[in-house]
Amino acid sequence: MNIIVIILVLYFIKEQFSFNRLQKLNYLFLPVLSIYQVATNFKLNQLNIILLIVTILIGIVVGYYQSRYAQIKRELKPVYIYYDDEHNERKIYKRGILVKGGRSYIVGWIIIFAIQIMIQYLVLVDKGPIQNELYHELLADFFSIYRLKSLGESADHWYVWALYGTSNLFYLNFLCRRHPTVREALFNSDKEILES
């Protein structure tokens, strides 16, 4: 398992330094799902209220930091080819956005993971192997569908959903404010452009 964790960490780091396509599943669905998980699994007591406030504040700060240094690149991807009246080949493009998180995204992810471990070990006294937690968090970050797999197991770990959900939600919010093309790509993605 140690070698798998190392490979996943190296892959995660490499991916943050390359441009990746903006996907609605990662940027919209998972933050909304996270909020839903917190809302359905949160048990009202003084400790949980304090934890919720702390996780939201940390999520806002981390989301802001991660988005501040994210790089955006536009792309036009040909989706159709047709021939005009003069028999010239023409293309119809679909706009796409590529995002590169870089060092700031990795630092933010490490902060979120460290806070999760601190809450788990210091506040909730849920002691389990750290490498096991790292492995599961890496899988959840690489493969969005893996986070969906753990829905039934999340009742005791609502704070994990709160940390990742708020940081992702505010990352998206700040990214959309800095780069209106991100908002356009997420919410108006069916537009096609005719080659001129």
- What average pLDDT does the segment 60-69 reach? 94
Q: Are 98 and 181 in contact (CB under 8 A)?
A: no
Q: What is the pTM of this model?
A: 0.74
Q: Are 67 and 53 in contact (CB under 8 A)?
A: no
**Comparing 111 with 26, which gets the higher pLDDT?**
111
**Which of 12-21, 32-41, 42-51, 154-163 bottoms out in mean pLDDT, i.e. has the lowest?**
154-163
CA–CA separation, 144 and 10 (whole Å): 18
Is residue 5 classed as helix, strand or coil in its secondary structure? helix
**Can you give the pLDDT at residue 148?**
46
> Which one of 62-76, 86-100, 127-141 scores highest in mean pLDDT?
62-76
